Amino acid sequence: ASSFNPEQARVPSALPLPAPPLTKFNIGLCQLSVTSDKKRNISHAKKAIEEAASKGAKLVLLPEIWNSPYSNDSFPVYAEEIDAGGDASPSTAMLSEVSKRLKITIIGGSIPERVGDRLYNTCCVFGSDGELKAKHRKIHLFDIDIPGKITFMESKTLTAGETPTIVDTDVGRIGIGICYDIRFQELAMIYAARGAHLLCYPGAFNMTTGPLHWELLQRARATDNQLYVATCSPARDSGAGYTAWGHSTLVGPFGEVLATTEHEEAIIIAEIDYSILEQRRTSLPLNRQRRGDLYQLVDVQR
């Protein structure tokens, strides 16, 4: 096996899994209904976060585009200047206040972000001190055309992000993706090679690709990389222009579905146990069996 040069399969070499700040904790997945009333969406998300925390969640994950309808017409109207903060970004101001008050980590789903004349689909991560720890702009834009089923072109209004996002938090090292990002296994592999314990994907799969691929992709990313994967979708609104599949889920490092729900509003509380990661990686030592003599994944940023 040493002749396979497994350390060369990841360039730079994969980092060892760091010791997490805690081994076990509860995650809360808040599957929220979204309306055209932005103030209502913000207060509704706030109440859901508070409920999840009251049930023991130390990490709370929100859906993709939870403060706005999911449409190219809505993105420019609901977009916020996140870096300016305060009144320019009421959604993230709420997340900062709640995370600090409840002493929890929040993966803030995603909201439309305005930077000059550009718009991004952006996820903000707030630590238990209320500080913005990371900001992920959706790297892979959702441009698809399935004849007779669904056509959507995010690139009509949104700009693609340029940077993979991994962040150390009070609940471990977390890699962030948004919805369509989950289809690109290279991104998840980079996060795993950077020592991620958990991947979080706020997402809004639709009624065509949701039944086919939503759970499949989550289980694949978790199994391939031997880590936890958590997703959070908006609740389904059949009257909306874009209908979300729902089914927010937590998947374990063996690809096992640990917790999930249907399409209605729901708050899922589930336990994450990082000690299982080493057990799984010892049982299936993929990192020692990769063929660095045959292939490499290059992390350009590192």
- Give me the pLDDT at residue 1, please: 61
Q: How far apart are CA 54 and CA 108, in angstroms?
A: 18
Q: pTM score, two decimals?
A: 0.97
What is the dotted CATH code of the domain comprising 24-284?
Answer: 3.60.110.10
Q: Where are the beta strands (DSSP E) in the chain?
A: 10-11, 24-31, 57-61, 105-107, 111-115, 118-126, 132-137, 143-146, 150-153, 165-169, 172-176, 198-202, 228-232, 249-251, 257-260, 266-273, 297-298
Residue in the block written with tokens 């589930």 = 270
The amino acid occupying position 238 is S
Q: Hey, which residues are catalytic here? A: 64, 138, 179
Note down pLDDT in tens along the chain; length 302 residues: 668 999 999 999 999 999 999 999 999 999 999 999 999 999 999 999 999 999 999 999 999 999 999 999 999 999 999 999 999 999 999 999 999 999 999 999 999 999 999 999 999 999 999 999 999 999 999 998 989 888 999 999 999 999 999 999 999 999 999 999 999 999 999 999 999 999 999 999 999 999 999 999 999 999 999 999 999 999 999 888 899 999 999 999 999 999 999 999 999 999 999 999 999 999 999 999 999 999 999 999 99
- Give me the pLDDT at residue 238, please: 87
- Give me the pLDDT at residue 152, please: 92
The amino acid occupying position 184 is F
Q: How far apart are CA 50 and CA 55, in angstroms?
A: 9
- Give me the pLDDT at residue 237, please: 94
Q: How far apart are CA 122 and CA 139, in angstroms?
A: 10
- Give me the pLDDT at residue 239, please: 87
